[in-house]
Amino acid sequence: MNSEQTPPKKRGCFFYGCVSFIVLSLLVVLLGYLGVRYVIRVTHEYTDNKPVLVESMEVSPAQLQALRTRIAEFKAVLDDQKTSQELALSAEDINALIASEPDLKDLKNKLFVIIDGDHIKGKVSIPLDNFGPLRLKGRYLNGVATFKASLENGALMVALDDLEVKGKPLPARILAQFKNQNLAQNAQRDPATAQAIQKFESIRVKDGSIILKNKTKP
């Protein structure tokens, strides 16, 4: 018998994936307006040749266990679909998970979440090695992205509200290309992701928390 086990598949972070999608889409938009040489110059203007260290949040073992218990209890209700329940996650909760969960270890010191009212912000440091042939190997996107997110009527909506890199906002005409895009649209085409989303009645960002509510069977 083969004693080796297949390593668990990493879930990654949807928020981090959205920021990566923005970077790739931004390059496509720029290519539509400009030539390759100019795109390379602008890209280097807004990227760095080294990552920045993004802060991380550590919590006590007791706090982490309490958070894991809350999530496990909500997951049981989510799978059962018999009773309605809400789970509120603060930025502290999410950052604690990033700092401690094995599936999210690659995001530690690369992503730090801030929830400001009904907006989700993320301090990010993203390596751009895999973003096409535009000489981005060894370049990093270091900045702060701001999103609006919600789930209504079974459709998850994630929209970019602002993106600041190297201490500078993106030009308004470029940012405008993304404000009306649903960055979660492609993710929902994945059957597993779409099935998971259908278990939720709503996802809201309100008063500094992400509030998840499960859907009950009729």
Q: Which pLDDT does position 38 carry in this prediction?
A: 44
Residue with tokens 């895999």: 130
**Does residue 6 carry a pLDDT above 50?**
no
**Does residue 59 carry a pLDDT above 60?**
yes
Q: Which pLDDT does position 134 carry in this prediction?
A: 54
Render pLDDT for 108-127 as a digit per residue (tens, 0 to 9).
Answer: 888 899 998 888 888 888 78
Q: Which pLDDT does position 68 carry in this prediction?
A: 92
Q: pTM of the entire structure?
A: 0.76
Render pLDDT for 163-183 as a digit per residue (tens, 0 to 9).
Answer: 888 788 877 877 777 777 787
pLDDT interval class at 19 (50, 70, 90): low
Positive or negative CA dihedral for 40, 45, 47, 49? positive
Q: Would you list the DSSP string of 73-118?
A: HHHHHHHH-SS--EEEEEHHHHHHHHHH-GGGGGGTTTEEEEEETT
Q: What are the residue boundaries of the structural domains of the chain, listed by start?
A: 14-214
